[in-house]
């Protein structure tokens, strides 16, 4: 019995997309959608999604659970590294001073980066550790909703 790797990966990608969208994040698939989303006033959390094994499996649950907090971003968006390349590249152009990293989180205020949680801040940590990092960023930069 052989496994069709492409079929398997498509299923993994579909599941990773669904997980983050179900948490309330808007998927951005083009550079134009990224520009529109990041032009919005207020705070925006960008989750750079990834199928990368352990780090992605930590980041997605953290992205969902971090939102159970009094202060949180006005807007939640996601791009998918390795899948929606144009959107991911454009989003990363807003993360000045930070190298490409996936999965990762960028918190922007009025389109300007104010916090970045990179892969090295996720990999090797538990989901609740990452939730704490996100909520610390929310506490500093977001208003109560």
Catalytic residue set? 52, 54
CA separation for the pair 60, 49 (Å, rounded): 8
The CA-atom distances, in angstroms, between 11 and each of 6, 33, 56, 72 are 9, 24, 15, 31
Which residues, at least 6 apart from 32, have a Cβ–Cβ distance to it below 8 Å?
A: none
């Amino acid at each position: 019995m052989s496994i069709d790797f492409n079929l398997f990966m498509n299923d993994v990608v579909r599941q990773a997309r669904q997980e983050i969208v179900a948490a309330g994040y808007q998927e951005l698939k083009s550079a134009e959608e990224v520009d529109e989303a990041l032009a919005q006033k207020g705070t925006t959390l960008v989750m750079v999604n990834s199928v990368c094994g352990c780090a992605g499996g930590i980041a997605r649950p953290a992205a969902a659970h971090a939102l159970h907090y009094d202060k949180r971003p006005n807007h939640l968006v996601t791009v998918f590294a390795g899948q929606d390349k144009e959107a991911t590249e454009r989003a990363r152009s807003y993360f000045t001073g930070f190298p490409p990293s996936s999965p990762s989180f960028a918190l922007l205020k009025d389109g300007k980066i104010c916090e970045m949680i990179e892969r090295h801040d996720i990999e090797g940590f538990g989901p609740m550790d990452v939730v704490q990092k996100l909520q610390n960023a929310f506490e500093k930069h977001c208003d109560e909703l």
